[in-house]
Structure 1
Amino acid sequence: MTTASNPARTWGPALGVVTLIALVLTALAIFGGDTLPDRTGPPIEELSVEQTMLTPGEIALSVRNTGADPVRVAQVFVNDAYVDFSGGDTAIDRFGTETLRLSYPWQSEQPYHVSMVTSTGAVIEHEIAAAVATPRADGGFFALMTLLGTYVGIIPVVLGMLFLPTLRRIGSRGVRVLLAITVGLLAFLAIDATLEGFELAEEAGGAFGGTALVVLGALLAFLALSALDHRLSRGAAERTGLRLALLIAIGIGLHNLGEGLAIGAAYAVGELALGITLVVGFAIHNTTEGLAIVSPLTRRRPSLVRLLGLGVIAGAPAILGALIGGTVTNPELSGFLLGIGVGAIAQVIVQLVPAVRDKAGRLLDPATVGGATAGLLAMYLTGLLVTA
């Protein structure tokens, strides 16, 4: 019997090594600390404010210990005035969370500076740029977030897909230019989401990685979508156009999840400019995403149900994102989800690039360079219309 046909011989040594490592690490955790000297420096006390909730007469801060040592909040000041608060009676361990409820008659739209003084005298600052009552997560709130997600996600994408009959009338060169435009559109989305993810990561305390979470989300999404593409590619060759359209729809959908997060979070803190400008701006901006989805379908005739399904896949995640963003204000979670959108879009670009090449195998000829440039400019210019 060969080694390959005997699982015990193949995996037995590896299992033994893993067991030995586990035993050594357990012993170090139990006995190792007693053999090392105590740290001579001051405690490392760090708190990150993950969510601010304002209700009449109260400011609630959800804080997380992102430092190495336990932290106990002893006093809290708002605009240099001492305030009574509840919560934080015991020390917050590393990665632990606590909600501090401050009794304070805040005024709407006014800025506030919160200072948390720890038991050792360290001061941790938090700024509230403009106080706005936190919306209640009731039926009206969920209905509004669903409506917003539909306005800025599903409707614009489906409208952009209406260009399909026109796109079918262009020749093979035109298809290549159209696919190059799609690459430009998606590249801009990926760059924009990356920058936004890194910006959010800088606002977080870094307890769970900060910018590394954005990169991790991107890599996981890229690998997951690659596996999905491999699964879909087992079908018939004539389904290539539908496969690409589905991958584009999924990639755009994951991006719109992050876009919905931004909308919901902005609404929760009173920074979302609700109105016709928001709706029209997002409609024009996201219509280009529908164009990207149907670009691989110029030689196919999918049913209306499939087209609508692609539109829902691409647009509906904006609804979910708005609901999450409006109820869970966590910069690191938002950064991770934005990273997922970046990785998905990057994988779609990898799938589209071979279709952009001409018969000689050239990728960057004047037509495709012009198409990609047009896609980038279209997303940039329409993005200027978005006021969220």
Structure 2
Amino acid sequence: MFEWFMNLDTWVQALIAGLFTWFVTALGASLVFFFKNIHKNILGMMYGLASGVMVAASFWSLLAPGIEIAEEQGRIAWLVAAIGFGLGGLFLFGADKLIPHIHFGKQHTKEGVPTKLKRTILLVFSITLHNIPEGLAIGVAFGAIGFLSGSVEVATISAIALAIGIGIQNFPEGAAVSIPLSNEKMGRKKAFFLGQASAIVEPIAAVIGAILVNSMQVILPYALAFAAGAMIYVVVEELIPEAQENADSGTHYAVFGFMIGFIIMMILDVALG
């Protein structure tokens, strides 16, 4: 089975990995059929776990390989990483200002260009925005397989570990989207549909990322750092504030959720990659 997967084109591998993370999101969103509410401490821990996974993945799965490839290409590795990382954050900042959406949380602050779209759609747009860098991260990780030192098998396992890590954090994330939406005066079926639909962008972004780095190999280290910067932007701008806001017994639940997520992703990447 693994050999069959390794023989596929990298963009097909990225597509399969992206579909996996979308499927796990749908599984998490399906919890809306079994639970009416999520305790705020649990919700805070969920967001914290997602943050921890993304921070760990940003370094071990993206920045570190990007620095390694930049060094092999004879570039100034720290400069390449800094440029790519900064551009990733600026990309998400620009998307925040252009794409209409509304954040979860008490303030429900609207961002992006003015629109008359329904509030629930704007909420889904918000979660979709931060699924884009996750999809890109998967795509560039698979696109980098042939350019990392060491065996192709190890590099493939490392990319798979990244997809598994993102899938793990997508499960509670799917629930954290769909269950609150079910309390927005909509049925559970619609809440599930919107919750899972927020992650459909991941396989699309994964394919785009893999194709880009394969067709323009010179951008690979920049692309890896770019995906890392975009993910960190999402963590700091949205996930951590949500984690702290939703933990009503102090921020301890959010902190321990972050630490658990970080440990899980670190183990996956270091042990498997």
- TM-score by length of structure 1 reads 0.51
Name the CA shift for 1:278/1:310 in 2 (closer, same or farther; >3 Å).
Answer: same
1:1-388 alignment runs, 5 A limit: 144-166=9-31, 168=35, 169-192=37-60, 193-206=62-75, 210-227=80-97, 228=99, 230-231=111-112, 237-239=119-121, 241-263=123-145, 265=147, 271-273=151-153, 281=161, 284-291=164-171, 293-294=173-174, 295-301=176-182, 302=190, 306-307=194-195, 309-330=197-218, 333-349=219-235, 350-358=237-245, 365-384=251-270, 386-387=272-273
Q: Check 1:199–1:361 CA distance in 2 against 1; reply closer, same or farther (3 A cut).
A: farther
Return the structure number with greater strand share: 1
Aligned residues: percent identity? 15
- Separation in 2, partners of 1:146, 1:265: 15
User: Once superposed, which parts of structure 1, at least 4 consecutive aligned residues long, lie more than 6 Å away?
Assistant: 276-280, 359-362
Seen in structure 2, the aligned counterparts of structure 1 residues 260 and 369 have a Cα distance that, compared at 3 Å, is: same
Aligned positions, number: 242
Q: Which ranges of structure 2 fall in alignment gaps of 5 or more residues? A: 1-5, 102-110, 183-189
Larger radius of gyration: 1
Could you say what the CA RMSD is over the residues aligned between the two structures, in angstroms?
3.8
For 2:217, the aligned partner's letter is T
1:343/1:222 CA distance change after superposition, 3 Å: farther
- Cα distance in 2 between the residues matched to 1:238 and 1:310: 12
Letter in 1 for 2:234: V
Structure 1 counterpart of 2:185:
none
In 2 relative to 1, CA 382–278 (structure 1 residues): closer, same or farther, beyond 3 Å?
A: closer
Quick one: structure 1 residues 166 and 198, their matched pair in 2 at CA, closer, same or farther if it must change by over 3 Å?
Answer: same
| Secondary structure in 1 matching 2:54 | helix
Deviates more, 1:198-207 or 1:349-358: 198-207
Within 2, Cα distance between the matches of 1:359 and 1:322?
36
Post-superposition offset of 1:222: 3.7
How has the CA–CA distance of structure 1 residues 251 and 206 changed in structure 2, closer, same or farther, with 3 Å as cutoff? same
Structure 1 residues 296 and 318, CA gap change in structure 2 (3 angstroms): same
Query: Structure 1 residues 287-296 or 246-255, which shifts more?
Result: 287-296
Shift of 1:358: 4.2
Q: Which amino acid aligns with 1:374?
A: I
Distance in 2, matches of 1:185 and 1:218, equals 18
CA 1:282 to 1:359, structure 2 compared with 1: closer, same or farther past 3 Å?
closer
Cα deviation 1:317-374 (Å, max 9, x = unaligned):
33333334445433xx112212221222122121223222347998x63211111111
Shift of 1:307: 4.7
Deviations 1:156-209 (A, max 9, x none): 432243022337453222111111111112222223322332232222333895
Is residue 138–residue 162 contact of structure 2 (8 Å, CA) maintained in 1?
no
| Matched-pair contact (CA < 8 Å) for 2:47–2:242 | yes
The equivalent residue for 2:3 is none
- Counterpart Cα distance in 1 of 2:119 and 2:40: 18
CA distance in structure 1 between the aligned counterparts of 2:131 and 2:256, rounded to whole angstroms? 24
Amino acid at match of 1:355: E
The offset of 1:252, in angstroms, is: 1.0
Mapped contact 2:52–2:260 kept (Cα < 8 A) = yes
* Structure 2: distance between partners of 1:232 and 1:172: 31
1:118-172: CA deviation from partner (whole Å, max 9, x where unpaired): xxxxxxxxxxxxxxxxxxxxxxx99633431233222243224302233745322
After superposition, the C-alpha distances for 1:228-259 in whole angstroms (9 at most, x for unaligned) are: 36317865555564233212211212222321
